Amino acid sequence: MARTRTAQPFSAQPPLTGVISYPVTPFTPETGALDLPALHRLTNDLVTAGSHGIAPLGSTGESAYLSETEWDAVCETTLGAVAGRVSTVVGVAHYSTEGTARRARVAARHGATAIMVLPQVYWKLTDTELARHFAAVADASDLPVMLYNNPGTSGVDLPPETVVALARQIPNLTMVKESSGDATRFRAIRELSDGALSVYNGSNPLALEAFRAGAVGWCTAAPCLAPRWCLELYAAATAGDQERADAVLEELLPFLRFIVGYGLPRAIKAGLEIRGRAVGRPRPPLLPLPEAQVAELRRMLERLDTHPIPAQAEARAAGQPA
């Protein structure tokens, strides 16, 4: 039986801010089974590199290709590796409302900060069906809910008016991850919710534009391969150092476009192998990144590794390196 909730204003304090990193899900090369020790190492690396939050079990984590037992193991392992050092938002999307709600309860049991819900559907749902789905999942735990709008993977587009209307009906739906690629939506969501609904960017090439439009976080797999550049972009953007932010993005943008264009699980796993931190192949039907693109990615990573990060405003004024 659903619990009765009293409507309340949006939360003024988002539970997640900054660079929120996606870990991929490692599989053993021999059998394709979960490689939980590798997942623990990767998650710990993301935290120690400076990520402000960790977001497992989205499309980057190949959540759609995991059994429920595997999903539970990845959730437990990732949150155990984080060990409360930073905030966590767990992707709980499932084709059924019951399955999504079950995953929400598992995430809560293992200590997630929040859950992320994508309208992952097969049949096209009506507005009423979508609203009831989100409400049922939100009711499954007391965790804050991040609504994930990614029409490219879900086939469902939730415009700002729909997002804000849903949030007004569901008290613990306080965050929105916007990945449609439409930069105008960051500001629109904030304005329609009177600045109280926290907005997160999930479109890598729009990272800087999103921060300038009021996004409080950037959800990205890029820190798996280039954590310092991602953190420097966030630092420059939030400090208002526009010249530096533009310069950092100029260097980082080809890499961000590449990993999105060739698919995050493929590109990130190829990049980790280049870095000597192999996490196995993507799970079928996904295939590994082709060799020509692996070579291109290698060149990009070598450039980011050797190219100096643009100086901070104070250092530029003093004529000193950053």
**Stretch (H or E) spanning 301:** helix 291-306
The whole-angstrom separation of Cα 232 and Cα 216 is 15
Tokens of 91: 């992707």
Say if residues 24 and 221 touch (Cβ distance below 8 Å): yes
Q: Is 269 a catalytic residue?
A: no
Where are the strands (E) in the chain, listed by range? 18-21, 53-54, 87-91, 114-117, 145-149, 173-178, 198-201, 217-220
Q: Is 305 strand, coil or helix?
A: helix
Find tokens 């009293």 and name the residue: 6
Written as one string, the DSSP assignment of 79-94 is: HHHHTTSSEEEEE---
Find out whether 78 is annotated in a ligand binding site. no
Q: Is 124 a catalytic residue?
A: no
Find tokens 């989205």 and name the residue: 58
Q: Is 115 strand, coil or helix?
A: strand
Q: Which of 65, 122, 177, 269 is catalytic?
A: 177
Q: Which of 148, 200, 234, 262 is catalytic?
A: 148
- Which residues belong to the annotated binding site for pyruvate? 60
Please list the active-site residues: 148, 177
